[in-house]
Amino acid sequence: MFPRPIEQTAPAMQVMYKIALPAALILWLLPLLGVAVTSVRPASDLAQGNYFGMPSYLAFENYADVFRNTPMGRYILNSFIVTIPTVIGAVALSLMTGFALAVYRFRGNLILFFMFVAGNFVPFQILMVPVRDLTLNLGMYNSYHGLALFHIAFQTGFCTLFMRNFIKALPYELIEAARVEGVAEWRIFWFIVLPLMRPAIAALSVLVFTFIWNDFFWATVLTSSPEAQPITAGLSSLNGQWVAAWHLVSAGSILAALPPVLMFFLMQKHFIAGLTLGAVK
């Protein structure tokens, strides 16, 4: 089934297409365009107060200066060191937890599932002081593993909800047939359920990667030095050290946005399949 041409739709829909769609696109892209223009604005323009006008020339050397004059390379490396283990840990743990909640029947199954769901509605801001004190007492403050472990803990609830519902939608007859054949439970999980979960794993990995990479709150609460700060907290510290260097902050922001965008486009096929699987029978 092909989409209907816009000329064959109602006049109201044509108005929405010609006015509302461009307006929404402009509003959505306007902040990004502003950051992109500032990232190539020379420092002399900012010193003269030219924040919103056209740049006097395009200073692409800002992208090189942000690595020469700031610890941007270290911040990017820190983000990868924290984000990749978090994605692997959260997805792996939620796969096993979701499988147990979706396949096995035991007392308290539904209550345990509701606990995972309820955890997603707790405002994480109220946990700021207890979590920071806990990291200090455990000696994990301002460290990679401390930030990664707490990210895994906070992401597990949403990931378990996602995986449990996905496994629940799989044909249960496959698991029953494997049990009749005498297949061990871990083999059912590894050789039957896991291959069917590839679209869900890809979709969840992209979401968690984006959440963790763009996290600013816990990055500033649990880290304090360039040796452990990810790129979001690092960009904030740049604003404090170089007050007038908005061109460097903007260039760093553009660079910080590239990894999640690249991951989405690399995993786009599996991401869409994971989100839409089961939508149409």
In this predicted model, what pLDDT tens digit does every residue of 46-91 receive, in sequence order? 878 777 888 888 889 989 988 988 888 999 999 999 999 999 999 9
Tell me the C-alpha distance between 90 and 193, whole Å. Answer: 18
Check: CB of residue 225 under 8 Å from CB of residue 142.
yes
Q: For the domain with range 71-275, which CATH number is right: 1.10.3720.10, 2.40.160.10, 1.10.357.10, 3.10.20.310?
A: 1.10.3720.10
Cβ contact 67:73 at 8 Å: yes
Could you tell me the pLDDT band of residue 1, with boundaries at 50, 70 and 90?
A: very low
Q: Which of 2-16, 30-44, 173-187 bottoms out in mean pLDDT, i.e. has the lowest? A: 2-16
For residue 16, the tally of other CB atoms under 10 A from its CB is: 14
Residue 141 is predicted with a pLDDT of 93
Closest CA to 70 of 204, 220, 245: 245
Q: Give the span between the Cα atoms of 29 and 24, in whole angstroms.
A: 9
Q: Max alpha carbon distance in the chain (Å)?
A: 78
Confidence check: pLDDT of 214 > 50: yes
HEC per residue, 28-77: HHHHHHHHHHHHCCCHHHHHCCCCCCCCCCCCCCHHHHHHHCCCHHHHHH
Report, as an integer, the average pLDDT of 22-28. Answer: 80
Could you tell me the residue ranges of all domains in the chain?
A: 71-275
pLDDT of residue 132: 92
* Mean pLDDT of all residues belonging to the chain: 85
In the prediction, which pLDDT does 281 show? 46
Q: How confident is the model at residue 242 (pLDDT cuts 50, 70, 90)?
A: very low
Rounded to whole angstroms, the Cα distance separating 151 from 145 reads: 10
Q: Does the pLDDT of residue 123 top 70, yes or no?
A: yes
What's the pTM value of the predicted model, to 2 decimals?
A: 0.84
